[in-house]
Amino acid sequence: MTNRPPDNWRAWMAETAREVKAGTLDPECASAADLYPESLLRATDAALEAFEGEVRALREPSDEVVFETVERVVLALNAINGDGQHGGAGFCTEEREQLCEYINRTLTEHGVDVAALAARRGIDQSEITDRWRDW
């Protein structure tokens, strides 16, 4: 199973905290750890968990059903990204890339040929979220 991006973000914050504590990282450089408030991490985890459940339930799905599943997770992530309760934190370029990669890998791990799916729509597999994505 693919690691969820929030797991990566938590690991990065823990490593940053260790480096500050060890004196190998200037505390001012560690302020980037505020990029991932717990509210953002929990909400993102919940959206991705719901997506995983939907993908696990797919049995020989049509392209339309797969795209509907992708649409739902992307719209959920849009809402999380725009939610002010996270103190202005949201998904930047690196996070966006991790989320898109995660969506593609999760589909692939559950038998969806993402490259073929995208090709049938005339897009690159890296673009399967683009139609709905605000982040």
- The whole-angstrom separation of Cα 61 and Cα 132 is 20
How sure is the predictor about 113, in pLDDT bands with cuts at 50, 70 and 90? Answer: very high
pLDDT in tens, 40-66: 999 999 999 999 999 999 999 999 999
* Of 89, 94, 77, residue with least CA distance to 130: 77
> What global pTM score does this model have?
0.90
SS3 assignment for the chain = CCCCHHHHHHHHHHHHHHHHHHCCCCHHHHHHHHHCCHHHHHHHHHHHHHHHHHHHHCCCCCHHHHHHHHHHHHHHHHHHHCCHHHCCCCCCHHHHHHHHHHHHHHHHHCCCCHHHHHHHCCCCHHHCCCCCCCC
16 φ/ψ angles, rounded to the nearest 5 degrees: -60, -45
pLDDT in tens, 76-95: 999 999 999 998 889 999 99
- The whole-angstrom separation of Cα 99 and Cα 96 is 5
Dmax over Cα atoms in the chain, in whole Å? 54
Between 72 and 31, residue with greater pLDDT: 72
